[in-house]
Structure 1
Amino acid sequence: MASDAVWRQEGESLVRDYEFEDFKAAMAFVNRVADAAEAANHHPDILVHEWNKVRLTLTTHSEGGLTDNDHKMAERIDAL
């Protein structure tokens, strides 16, 4: 898996892009993120595109922007 080095802030969101060897690897990663998100009850927006790329976007919609929960979820995802 290749990804940009760090999460970046875009407006009121944290965003990170990933690139995988193939579609299957990208989807396996998405499923691991989904499991972690369910456990934390904090769900990123997930975009799968160009067959092997994934973009994750974290924001707390109910709070209108970034919160500590977004940063904690980013750390959980980084640990996957």
Structure 2
Amino acid sequence: MSQKLTDAEIQTQLAQVPDWTLEGDRLQRTYRFKDFVEAIAFVNKLVEPAEAAGHHPDIAISYNRVIVTLTTHDAGGLTQKDFDLATQIANL
């Protein structure tokens, strides 16, 4: 199990993932696309890095908007895994 980060560690890591926000004990980013097809294509791109990391985001899709939320449920909050996956997603 991954170790939950401290508040100070979270703030340090948050500076490394622009456009991601802290929502309670979750890391979140909203992506907007031209249409539903582009939104779904983006979601499909999330599969490989998530599977490789063994860490899966919560995803909400509303037409051309995709909200990606990360947290490590078994740790009860944010861990390094969340920030690592956020970085990978940001680079897609």
Structure 1 runs not aligned, ≥5 long: none
Structure 2 runs not aligned, ≥5 long: 1-17
Work out whether 1:23 is the aligned partner of 2:36: yes
User: What does residue 35 of structure 1 align with?
Assistant: 48
Matching residue within 16, 19, 26 for 1:6: 19
Matching residue within 67, 71, 90 for 1:55: 67
- Return the alpha-carbon distance in structure 1 between the equivalents of residues 44 and 91 of structure 2: 14
Q: With structure 1 as the length reference, what TM-score do the two structures score?
A: 0.90
Q: With structure 2 as the length reference, what TM-score do the two structures score?
A: 0.79
Work out whether 1:66 is the aligned partner of 2:83: no
Number of residue pairs matched by the alignment: 75
Q: Name the SS for the 1:42 alignment partner.
A: coil
Work out whether 1:78 is the aligned partner of 2:86: no
- Runs of 4+ with >6 A deviation: none
- Return the alpha-carbon distance in structure 2 between the equivalents of residues 27 and 55 of structure 1: 12
Deviation sequence 1:10-58 (CA, Å, 0-9, x none): 1000000011001110000000012210111110000001x11000000
- Return the alpha-carbon distance in structure 2 between the equivalents of residues 35 and 79 of structure 1: 13
- Return the alpha-carbon distance in structure 2 between the equivalents of residues 55 and 27 of structure 1: 12
Greater fraction strand: 1
Structure 1 residue 77, shift from structure 2 partner: 0.3
Q: Matched residues, percent identical?
A: 51
Deviation sequence 1:54-76 (CA, Å, 0-9, x none): 00000000000000000000001
